[in-house]
Structure 1
């Protein structure tokens, strides 16, 4: 069975009010992916990295984050997590921005969504905090492809 953890990055959300994290959890469960843990942290580089490293200690296959991927000064998820993903999957961010462009137009340019493998060979997706963006990423990219990406990496 595939297992996952979800990390939400937000200055305003809690586990109870985190609609994007709840959606990701539900969508994964519908695909028989067990969610081992969900956390919410503030938009702070040290808090993000600490929580990410804590979650990667779990025996999981997927680690999905949401929030803080824009270009605002408070959006520090990209600089916090990019160094922790030594095997990037550039096509994910490119495809996500293309799909987002079809949905929201040129605002998609501001997204720094990304994917890659961490040092523990866990597949990681770094998504925007918008529930609609998470739906797009999950339904059109992650759910159809995560098994294949894990298979390819584990060859």
Structure 2
């Protein structure tokens, strides 16, 4: 039996000290892919590479009912300013352990061993899925192509959409 599509409410958080709405081509592309797949784009914010700004933005979205998925882009690398994993990990109720590994395996096809520089991750915060991707267009494209398979029940029989009603169970 074919499952029906349920558009999810998705927000994007761009993490960068240098990008603006005009120069964030990766975030814009991600927004377009979300809308092209018929999900509901809720909002996009840009915050600096600062774990407290990242946590504040994510915490607001995780506390509101208007967002079901947050995708961050940027800050997953190894430089001194990259702090997305350090910001997000303490907020997670559960980590989706395999996402980072699958992302790096997919990324390896395009950028080879440079993929080890990515600390992409995913998890759940207060019933909201969060996916943390690197900031490049290629990484956002690869990441969305993986994420979308789990956000559309027509694409796979075992998916994250089916779990949404149960994420806040105690």
Q: Common fold, TM-score beyond 0.5?
A: yes
Residue aligning to 1:32: 38
Residue aligning to 1:144: 149
Larger helix percent: 1
Structure 1: 4+ residue segments shifted above 3 A: none
Give deviations 1:73-108, integer Å, cap 9, x for gaps: 110111001111221111110100111112111111
TM-score normalised over the length of structure 2: 0.85
Deviation at 1:153, TM superposition (A): 4.6
- Asked whether the equivalents of residues 123 and 150 of structure 1 are also in contact (C-alpha less than 8 Å), the reply is no
- Asked whether the equivalents of residues 71 and 111 of structure 1 are also in contact (C-alpha less than 8 Å), the reply is yes
Q: Unpaired runs of 5+ in structure 1?
A: none
2:16 to 10, 13, 38: 10
Q: Unpaired runs of 5+ in structure 2?
A: 1-6, 153-158
- Asked whether the equivalents of residues 69 and 128 of structure 1 are also in contact (C-alpha less than 8 Å), the reply is yes
TM-score normalised over the length of structure 1: 0.93
Larger Rg: 1 or 2?
2
Query: For residues 81 and 15 of structure 1, what CA distance do their matches in structure 2 show?
Result: 23
Residue aligning to 1:118: 125
Query: For residues 20 and 85 of structure 1, what CA distance do their matches in structure 2 show?
Result: 25
Q: CA RMSD in A?
A: 1.2
